[in-house]
Amino acid sequence: MASYLDFEKPVAELEARVEDLRALSEKKDSPNIGEELAKLEAKAAKALAELYAGLTPWQKTQVARHPQRPHCVDYIAGLIEDFTPLAGDRKFAEDEAILCGLGRFRGQSVAVIGQEKGFDTSSRLKHNFGMVKPEGYRKAVRVMELADRFGLPVVSFVDTAGAFPGIEAEERGQAEAIARATEAALVQGTPNVATVIGEGGSGGALGIAACNVVLMLEHSIYTVASPEASASILWRDSSRAQDAATSMKITAQDLQKFGIIDGIVTEPVGGAHRDPEAIIRSVGDAVASALARFAELTPDAVRAARQEKFLAMGRKV
Q: Quick check: 132 and 98 in contact, CB under 8 A?
A: yes
135 is a domain residue: yes
Give the pLDDT of residue 88: 95
Q: How many domains does the chain contain in total?
A: 2
Same domain, 110 and 220: yes
Same domain, 84 and 221: yes
**Which phi-psi region, left, alpha or beta, contains residue 163 (left: φ > 0; alpha: ψ -120 to 50)?**
beta
Same domain, 130 and 40: no
State the residue range of the domain holding 23.
7-54
Instruction: Read off the pLDDT of residues 204-244 as tens digits, 9 standing for 90 and up.
Output: 999 999 999 999 999 999 999 999 999 999 999 989 999 99
Contacts of 18 (CB under 8 A, 6+ apart): 37, 40, 41, 44
Same domain, 42 and 71: no
Give the pLDDT of residue 31: 63
Which amino acid, one-letter code, is at 70? P
Give the pLDDT of residue 317: 59
Same domain, 134 and 278: yes
Give the pLDDT of residue 159: 97
Helix (H) or strand (E) holding 108: strand 108-115
Q: Quick check: 180 and 130 in contact, CB under 8 A?
A: no
Span 152-163, average pLDDT: 97
Q: Quick check: 67 and 105 in contact, CB under 8 A?
A: no
Same domain, 180 and 106: yes
Above 80 in pLDDT, residue 28? no
Phi then psi dihedrals of residue 93, to 5 deg:
-165, 180
Same domain, 50 and 94: no
Helix (H) or strand (E) holding 73: helix 72-79
Query: How far, rounded to the nearest angstrom, does the alpha carbon of residue 272 sit from its chain's CA centroid?
Result: 11
Q: What is the CA radius of gyration of the chain?
A: 21
Same domain, 237 and 109: yes
pTM for this model (two decimals): 0.93
Same domain, 13 and 162: no
What CATH number does the domain containing 229 carry? Answer: 3.90.226.10
Give the pLDDT of residue 30: 61
Same domain, 207 and 106: yes
